[in-house]
Structure 1
């Protein structure tokens, strides 16, 4: 085998073992057991490109039945006060997980969704995981774009770089066609799923590090217009059916920016049968020996 072929095979094998339940062919940018959807740094719209609604990326990590999500962006979890918006604020939408293999329009009613921002316009109230989810677009009530395609058109016209994290602009236009979903419209709460919000310190301890995924680089701040970088996230116990390849995405309520990532969640491992104890083996052996002894006497 040639040296370059050997190096390539080693790299492939390494990628395939990174992350619990993560298949390299279906992953975004994998770093430190997290699967990142790294967004364009020139597609957030806040009057002009950049500002408060610029998103940098988000990561997903599986640890058994627990799913961790970290978000790195300028928009805080509490959003922005806006008297012209529904609920007087513009904040984060819900996060959607699509395991169907279909674009969103054809997956309605079969999605999973997580409400993680308590002040958003979601039709469900408790924070946490929901199954059998359908979504809707509330951007028109939040002074935003009618669709991802409209947002992409604006970004491109402003000399930005349109995209949705690990989905290219072309892929995103197909995936979100007629279904730029940003909040849950209906769904069944997965009551056995344990949800918890996570701060930046906790996420850092868990290995969430977008700069590391960028090979040490930092997102540019030249167009921040006073907005500060935020890191926050959540964890939840996955629900039944959250297995295999998926696409996850999240938008701001106004659709001024959004992010997506491809990933794969491993199935729950089959339980390993407990080995027969030595005492049990001894008892079985004694019983067999006794039967043989009595059989010999009868013979």
Structure 2
């Protein structure tokens, strides 16, 4: 039976965190299902890791729809999200709805939007139409040129306040999930601890309800990985077969019990906080 928002919330209520990976083809979707990955994201990261581009900006709705349909056929258990690519929801509410409907009809159970409070109206429109929404705040890859590269966001107090406000506004508009990317740990923790939505971190905080990584990154295929990446193939014993499935399973287990992310995979912890990290909440969470 495929996961739903309801079953994901029950998993969290039972004290287990959620694992999410990007996925672009049916064969990997099958292996992720077998390994117990909770959520699969058809990310616009495919522009970089599948199409060989230097950003996500050239990815189209049809690209995402094609890969979403592949994943929907290949998986039977995991919850399936699809990215709304750059330019697919900015022109008008009608354009945004057409794009979202296309992805839902391809098999997505939720669409993900990058942006802040300016997307409040679109989120409300989607939720009213029965389209579940994941808001994406913090580092926004679709804004790479505007922010001057893939840089940690929210280091200044004013920026941290804005990102926290973005998350709160989009949750109030109806976003059932909030993905927090590339922010200092204290800000990621504050968003997670004040949100009633499901929070997913990537370079944010272990306090989030779950974590996401790009599949190719966690399999060690990126020669220059970001700080928040861990290669889950490195320490697996040889000769036992199924190394990719075992890497996925190891990732799911480490996310579930709070071992990942460790202090080495987040930004902005002090020495004392880093020493207490790894599933244990710092005695005094750092200010955002």
**Category of TM-score, reference length = shorter chain:** under 0.3
Q: Which structure shows the bigger proportion of residues in strand conformation?
A: 1
Larger Rg: 1
Q: What TM-score do you get using the length of structure 2 for normalisation?
A: 0.23
Higher helix proportion, which one? 2
The structure showing larger relative contact order (alpha-carbon pairs under 8 Å, at least 6 residues apart) is 1
